[in-house]
Amino acid sequence: MIDAHAHLTHDRLRDDIDGVIDRAAAAGITRILTCGEDVASSEAAVALARRSPVVRAAVGIHPHMAATCDERSLRRLRELARQPGVVAIGEIGIDLSGRSASRADQERAFRAQVELALELDLPVCLHVRESGPVVRSVLDGMSPPQGYVHCYSEGPGEIAEWMRLGFAISFAGPVTFPKNGTLREAARLVAEDRLLIETDAPYLAPQAQRGRRNEPAFIAATYEQVASVRGVSTADLAAQVAENAASLFGDRW
């Protein structure tokens, strides 16, 4: 199994990071992508990928931090993205929940980082919250990079639109919540070669650990739930997701 999106350098995991990685390996996790949310966490992600063979890094500025995305930050992200173990630009995107940066700052930061990904030929990790049409509109106006929508939450109605753009879709712990039938339907509809599974650790633990700090070792429940709705074995799903990640992230993965 792989974990396509986590935040291993978050302060809720940082002090226990060796234990987190050891427990993940014991649970059968062979690769974890840890994603940046600003320059500092991106630097930490690169450092962790450098010392742990299980970890790969994405570097980027989250929409919550979009106001910090300036020329200096972009220069540093460009430097980091060229380091060994870096496989993507992210987490980037647009969040219209009302708890993020201004929309103008978000759109500016998103466009700049998509351009960086295109320049470096790297896929993007997308944060899309109540913003699917807006994000797709920005991408439609550019040369869309490869990438994936992390912690998909938009329901089944937008799956075809994301696949039209060539994006993979990644599901996290909420797909296991009893009342999330629409999300499970979305997981059923994704083409098998566009499907990823993640934890978004330390956030969004699956139902059995709900309310606890999440970590990659808990990911099996998400694989099991998605396998069930798709009518395949967990082992077959894990093999397909690993193949999809290798195809998306390339030789650096």
The model's pLDDT over 100-110, given as tens digits with 9 standing for 90+, comes to 999 999 999 99
Please report the pLDDT score of residue 28 as a whole number.
Answer: 97
Q: Which of 60, 17, 30 is nearest to 253 (CA)?
A: 30
Please report the pLDDT score of residue 99 as a whole number.
Answer: 86
Residues in the chain, pLDDT under 70: none
Taking the C-alpha atoms of residue 148 and residue 127, their distance in angstroms, rounded to an integer, is 9
Q: Tell me the Ramachandran region of residue 69: left when phi exceeds 0, alpha when psi lies from -120 to 50, beta otherwise.
A: beta
Q: Which of 236, 231, 205 is nearest to 219 (CA)?
A: 205
Instruction: Tell me the C-alpha to C-alpha distance, in Å, between residue 67 and each of 9, 43, 46, 61, 133.
Output: 21, 18, 22, 9, 22
Q: What is the pTM of this model?
A: 0.97
Please report the pLDDT score of residue 143 as a whole number.
Answer: 87
The model's pLDDT over 202-231, given as tens digits with 9 standing for 90+, comes to 999 999 999 999 999 999 999 999 999 999
Tell me how many degrees the CA angle 4-65-144 measures, rounded to the nearest 5. Answer: 55
Q: Which of 134, 178, 136, 170 is nearest to 153 (CA)?
A: 170
